[in-house]
Amino acid sequence: MFLRGFREDENMSTLNKGAEFIKTLREFIAFLQSLWGILAGISVFFPLSNALTKTIPLGYIEDPIGA
Protein backbone atom coordinates (compact mmCIF):
# COMPACT_ATOMS: atom_id res chain seq x y z
CA MET A 1 0.00 0.00 0.00
CA PHE A 2 2.85 2.39 0.77
CA LEU A 3 4.52 1.57 -2.55
CA ARG A 4 1.29 2.21 -4.39
CA GLY A 5 1.08 5.69 -2.85
CA PHE A 6 4.72 6.30 -3.69
CA ARG A 7 4.11 5.46 -7.33
CA GLU A 8 1.14 7.82 -7.50
CA ASP A 9 3.31 10.61 -6.09
CA GLU A 10 5.99 9.72 -8.60
CA ASN A 11 3.45 9.87 -11.44
CA MET A 12 2.18 13.24 -10.21
CA SER A 13 5.74 14.50 -10.12
CA THR A 14 6.22 13.35 -13.71
CA LEU A 15 2.98 15.07 -14.73
CA ASN A 16 4.06 18.28 -13.00
CA LYS A 17 7.41 18.15 -14.79
CA GLY A 18 5.60 17.63 -18.09
CA ALA A 19 3.25 20.54 -17.42
CA GLU A 20 6.19 22.75 -16.46
CA PHE A 21 8.01 21.76 -19.65
CA ILE A 22 4.95 22.62 -21.78
CA LYS A 23 4.61 25.97 -20.00
CA THR A 24 8.29 26.76 -20.59
CA LEU A 25 8.01 25.69 -24.23
CA ARG A 26 4.99 27.96 -24.77
CA GLU A 27 6.82 30.91 -23.20
CA PHE A 28 9.84 30.25 -25.42
CA ILE A 29 7.65 30.10 -28.54
CA ALA A 30 5.97 33.38 -27.52
CA PHE A 31 9.44 34.93 -27.12
CA LEU A 32 10.47 33.74 -30.58
CA GLN A 33 7.27 35.15 -32.05
CA SER A 34 7.97 38.52 -30.47
CA LEU A 35 11.58 38.34 -31.66
CA TRP A 36 10.40 37.66 -35.22
CA GLY A 37 7.92 40.49 -34.88
CA ILE A 38 10.69 42.89 -33.90
CA LEU A 39 12.88 41.67 -36.75
CA ALA A 40 10.03 42.11 -39.23
CA GLY A 41 9.36 45.61 -37.90
CA ILE A 42 13.01 46.58 -38.33
CA SER A 43 13.14 45.15 -41.84
CA VAL A 44 10.13 47.31 -42.77
CA PHE A 45 11.43 50.42 -40.98
CA PHE A 46 14.84 50.63 -42.67
CA PRO A 47 13.57 50.86 -46.28
CA LEU A 48 10.92 53.31 -45.08
CA SER A 49 13.55 55.43 -43.35
CA ASN A 50 15.62 55.39 -46.53
CA ALA A 51 12.63 56.83 -48.43
CA LEU A 52 12.03 59.43 -45.70
CA THR A 53 15.65 60.63 -45.73
CA LYS A 54 15.23 61.44 -49.41
CA THR A 55 12.08 63.43 -48.59
CA ILE A 56 13.44 65.17 -45.48
CA PRO A 57 16.69 67.00 -46.33
CA LEU A 58 19.56 66.20 -44.02
CA GLY A 59 22.59 68.39 -43.48
CA TYR A 60 26.02 67.62 -44.84
CA ILE A 61 29.36 67.84 -43.06
CA GLU A 62 30.38 70.80 -45.26
CA ASP A 63 27.29 72.83 -44.25
CA PRO A 64 27.91 75.67 -41.78
CA ILE A 65 26.49 75.28 -38.26
CA GLY A 66 22.82 76.25 -38.12
CA ALA A 67 22.27 75.98 -41.88
Q: What is the pLDDT of residues 23-53, one digit of tens each?
A: 998 988 888 788 887 887 788 777 777 777 7
> Which of residues 10 and 39 earns the better pLDDT score?
39
Residue 64: inside a domain: no
Residue 27: inside a domain: yes
Residue 59: inside a domain: no
- Within a 13 Å sphere around the CA of 7, how many CA atoms are in the beta-carbon half? 4
Please tell me the pTM assigned to this model: 0.42
Residue 46: inside a domain: yes
C-alpha 44/C-alpha 5 separation (Å) is 58
Query: How many domains, in total, are found in the chain?
Result: 1
- Give the structural domain span for 17: 7-53
pLDDT band at 17 (very low <50, low <70, confident <90, very high): confident
